[in-house]
Structure 1
């Protein structure tokens, strides 16, 4: 089932926050007016693991929720970048680490009822410190090096506030065999 967009009016046009008001028609003929959509560039995040097996997490203040949160490194992908290239750039900028291997895990939508972008989730391994952070003017990011067991503890205690970051950690831990599921039989 798809909706037909009858009209769109932009309320804000900014690279990181474009908002529009659509007038839509459902397949059954019902008109939905207004329907608000926030357009954002695609983003990427990674559970980044160093050569010695530590996870590189970041801690930063997030103004919309008024809290300092623990996250996996990541950010918006530039128009001229593929997702892996953008992920490598974000890792280097935010952490100063380069990674020998980056694997795409999944693509997910944070809030498809309002946001139109996807976040690409990665596992980055073989990380080594090659430089200092190169942060944007509005970023204040503290780096945390933690063990994989500590990552699991943070995940299980709900310490990753961003759903995309929780998803990334979950998929990455499954990939490296640190989380497993059973079918209930013993």
Structure 2
């Protein structure tokens, strides 16, 4: 098999922001052809979790997603702070969004949202044995409703295309596989 990786000759930033950065790269393909401007979105890395309470319920969150203009049913998750370990970020996000503490979390997949144009990764976890220890501690622009579902109900939601966030569908797929529930 031939080497398919491109060589980056030059990078230039078009925009740097707290949530997204845009750059373009000048690249050389393995056969010598030059790609003058290949645009890349740099986002922070993300985490998400299929979070199962000690009562066996799957925690889901419902929130408005402005870019798509939808109210989205999702699994808990969020942005990893720059100096934070993914597992710590996941525990923090679970506590902030749901008020549940999870000591048993396992990394089940590392995926890319769109490796063609975006550089970030999402770390997907399976969290088990969650206990409600506090109320939500949401960011300024977050409005999140926490809902509980059985595993069978989550499978039905996936079957009926009721979960629109692709990265969360992937996390659910890996978790259901790990649990023998596909």
Report the TM-score range of the alignment, normalised by the length of the smaller protein: over 0.9
1:15 Cα offset (Å): 2.5
| 1:102-137 C-alpha deviation (Å, 9 max, x unpaired) | 011010001001110010110001011111111111
- How large is the Cα RMSD of the aligned pairs? 1.0
Which runs of 4 or more aligned residues in structure 1 lie more than 6 Å from their structure 2 counterparts after TM superposition? none
Runs of 5+ consecutive residues of structure 1 not aligned to the other structure = 180-186
Runs of 5+ consecutive residues of structure 2 not aligned to the other structure = none
Q: Aligned partners of 2:46 and 2:84: how far apart in 1?
A: 11
1:103 corresponds to: 106
| 1:116-169 C-alpha deviation (Å, 9 max, x unpaired) | 001011000101111111111121111111111111111111222111100111
Q: Aligned partners of 2:51 and 2:64: how far apart in 1?
A: 20
1:34 Cα offset (Å): 1.5
| 1:45-96 C-alpha deviation (Å, 9 max, x unpaired) | 0000000011100011111111111110001111222111110001001111
- 1:161 lines up with 2:164 in the alignment: yes
- 1:21 lines up with 2:60 in the alignment: no
2:154 corresponds to: 151
- 1:37 lines up with 2:40 in the alignment: yes
Q: Aligned partners of 1:141 and 1:47: how far apart in 2?
A: 16
Q: Which deviates further from its counterpart, 116-125 or 133-142?
A: 133-142
- 1:133 lines up with 2:141 in the alignment: no
1:122 corresponds to: 125
1:4 corresponds to: 7
1:55 corresponds to: 58
1:33 Cα offset (Å): 2.2
TM-score scaled by length of structure 1: 0.93
Q: Aligned partners of 2:174 and 2:5: how far apart in 1?
A: 30
